[in-house]
Amino acid sequence: MKFPILLPNIFNHPFTYESNFDLKIGDFVEVPFGKSKIIGVVWDNFEKKNDKKFKIKKVINKLDIPNLKTSTINFLNWFSKYNIVPKGMALKLTLLSGRPAKLFDKENYQNFSYDIKNNSIELTEEQKKSLKQINDSNKKFNVHVLQGTTGSGKTLVYFEALKDILKKGRQGLVMLPEIGLTSQFEKKFIEFFGFKPAIWHSGITKKNKEIIWSGIITGKIRVIIGARSSLFLPFKKLGLIIVDEEHDQSYKQDEGIIYNARDMAISRASFENIPINLVTAVPSIETYENIKKKKYSISKLEKRYQDASLPNYEIINLNNVRLQKQSWLSKEIIQKVNFHLEKKDQVLFFLNRRGFSPNVLCKKCFSSFSCPNCSINLVYHKNKNYLLCHYCGFRNSLQRDCSKEGNCNFIFSGPGVERISDEVKRNFPSKKVEIFSSDTMNKKSSKDKLEKIINNEIEILVGTQLISKGFHFPNLNCIVVVDIDLSSHGHDLRVAEKNLQLYHQLSGRAGRAGKPSTVYFQTYNSNTKMISDITHKNPEIFLEKEIEIRKRNNLPPFQRFISLILTGENESKLEKEASKFKSYIQRSIDAKILGPVNAPIFRLKKKYRVRLLVRGPKTLKLQNSLALVISKYKFLSGIKLSVDVDPISFN
């Protein structure tokens, strides 16, 4: 018999093989391909008819592994069409380095033994009401939004909902936006459920990934807590997906195969015909619009857990104070922080910039340090004593011969968290200070560091956006936003939405244990209404305004954007090809095409980048027609196309 076999590679169709094995859709098989052997999956449809006569090869072996479910195959087919990705590459996301994992002995799964304990946590009336609304809708596919003020106990509510699903013998997936959140979250999970979940992200070992993958496809592992890629695991009996911090931009995979994990999770739930819960303090614009249209149901938690009050806000106008040279903290802020430290409050200085300084300049020859591979400045990291490109990872030492005479004499322009940390240590020499950023919290020691922060052994934190992501620090009652103006500029259409979510999340770290708390904003911006708007306890006021602006200007979520990024090493060749490509696709698709323009970061990893933006109706027809046109176009050698459907960033 003939069978369609999809291979985990850049092919957009399965290949035809013959077999005497009793095969069904989803079976894993070993097949000859060229001069090698490769693992593929029996797919649902044959490739299109080909008039050429070719010799059909035979399947070598059928693997003794449970098959991929039809619902998973249907999801991967849809994923491929929506994101304009070859089917074989979509399949690859479900496998481990292009292969399934072998089955392990029973003892390998003992770490994840499933035995729910009876806990004695009593929910508030508001939490019980939310739980009932979730459980009432958790019968089949349904998107339910659990929106709650930061610190309102949303996690407890969805844990209870998950417990109900697990008791019915099904599996659960809890998605988190950052790897750094998993250790604190895992501890919370074990305290509630009494058993260990499987953790899935890029940092776990190859052996553990194989054990978890096989435990998921056989149903031996019941709960996954994971980052974006956990969405593609081959669940045997998935019963519920929970997307925590659904608004978070980190759910967007922006390298390799580009997709939005939150949106794809909703789609996967639809194909599995199971419920999905989106959890947030401030919904994304897309989610908010779907709530308004009644496509998504919603329940709200207005009160913080144990009636803890929300933080107060104070604005410190930097136009009215004189900062000392090479200083970013006003005398007023130092006094406020001392007041909090005397009360044994933990303090956070927030600045969303890694490293010591974003610009390094020689004051003799005026040349700056920029990345040789990317069109951006290198950031000086004082703790490691090197200059670093945050895009390609290029490193350089701070040594350079000056074109005037001798060595360059450097000026460090602007602060990063390391520079603020130095200033904080000078002002509070007796206090334990720790930097909280992706440079310091992705290491093995981060678990110990978190424990020390929770136990108030670290009195002052200096942190980037990572700290806003859902951590629970019971003693944190003072937050200083060093300069809110730094993150309120740019050409990003989502900048207002991002600021709203960031500062709500950030403020939510303070006052969680019930003590009075304050967030201080240092700013040169005389428009203090902007700060009042984004910190208002009712984010819907801001979201309504933003929705109106988007609607008026025909921006997402009211229109589909598809970003086409062409890259190449030859600048003039790339620009000519981009114009030619635009003319070619313009004739074949019913949409507006803007560009080509140079990307804001024009050179990245030694490649020049030019962008086109396709604007059109929100239907799959747009992707289908675009995919067809792209498949027929032959790019000049050395030029590569990346497709980003529903772009979040325009770098």
Q: Which amino acid is at 399?
A: Q
pLDDT band at 68 (very low <50, low <70, confident <90, very high): very high
Largest CA distance in the chain: 83
Give residue-wise pLDDT tens across range 24-63: 999 999 999 989 999 999 999 876 665 566 788 999 999 9
Counting residues of the chain whose pLDDT is more than 70, the rounded percentage is: 95
pLDDT of 526 reads: 67
Residue 488's pLDDT band, with cuts at 50, 70 and 90, is very low
Please check whether residue 283 is in contact with residue 262, taking contact to mean a CB–CB distance below 8 angstroms. no
Q: Which class for 108: exposed (0-12), middle (13-18), buried (19 or more C-beta within 10 A)?
A: middle
**How far, in Å, are 266, 268, 298 from residue 141 at the CA level?**
9, 10, 15
* Neighbour-count burial of 19, counting CB atoms closer than 10 A to its CB (0-12 exposed, 13-18 middle, 19+ buried): buried
Bridge-based pairing state of the strands 142-148 and 28-33: unpaired
Q: pLDDT value at position 414? A: 87
What's residue 649's pLDDT? 82
Mean pLDDT on 357-381:
89
State the Cα–Cα distance between residues 151 and 262, nearest whole angstrom.
Answer: 22
Write down the pLDDT at residue 437.
83
Give the span between the Cα atoms of 242 and 246, in whole angstroms.
Answer: 9
Instruction: Return d(Cα 100, Cα 91) in angstroms, integer.
Output: 11
Is the whole model's pTM more than 0.75, yes or no? Answer: yes
Contact of 613 with 595, CB cutoff 8 Å: yes
Integer Cα distance of 86 and 621 in angstroms: 17
* 3-class secondary-structure state, position 206: helix
Given this model, what pLDDT does residue 306 score? 64
Using alpha carbons only, what angle is made at residue 268 by residues 262 and 270, rounded to the nearest 5 degrees? 110
* CA contacts within 13 A on the Cβ side of 280: 26
DSSP 314-326: EEEEGGGS-PPTT
Domains of the chain: 2-94 (3.40.1440.60), 106-306 (3.40.50.300), 308-356+415-548 (3.40.50.300), 560-645 (3.30.70.600)
DSSP 8-state symbol, 602: E
Chain segment 72-109, per-residue pLDDT in tens: 999 999 999 999 999 999 999 999 988 999 989 888 88
- Tokens, residue 272: 């599995």
Work out whether the CA dihedral 446, 447, 452, 455 comes out positive or negative.
Answer: positive
Give the C-alpha separation, 420 to 357, whole Å: 10
CA 627 – CA 633 distance, rounded (Å): 10
Q: Which residue has the higher pLDDT, 298 or 439?
A: 298
Average pLDDT of span 468-474:
76
Per residue in 206-221, pLDDT (tens digit) is 999 999 999 999 999 9
Residue 120 confidence (pLDDT) above 80: no
Residue 598 pLDDT exceeds 90: yes
Structure confidence at residue 503 as a pLDDT band (50, 70, 90): confident
pLDDT tens sequence across 214-254: 999 999 999 999 999 999 999 999 999 999 999 998 899 98
CB atoms within 10 A of CB 393: 10
pLDDT of residue 489: 46
Q: Is the pLDDT of residue 500 over 90?
A: no
* Per-residue confidence band for 381, with pLDDT thresholds at 50, 70 and 90: very high
Q: What is the pLDDT of residues 554-586, one digit of tens each?
A: 999 999 999 999 999 999 999 999 999 999 999
pLDDT in tens, 530-552: 777 777 677 888 889 889 999 99
pLDDT at residue 646, as a whole number? 94
- Encode pLDDT of 299-354 as tens digits: 999 887 666 677 888 888 888 888 888 889 999 999 999 999 999 999 999 998 89
Instruction: For residue 486, name the pLDDT band (cuts at 50, 70, 90).
Output: very low
Q: What is the mean pLDDT of the chain?
A: 88
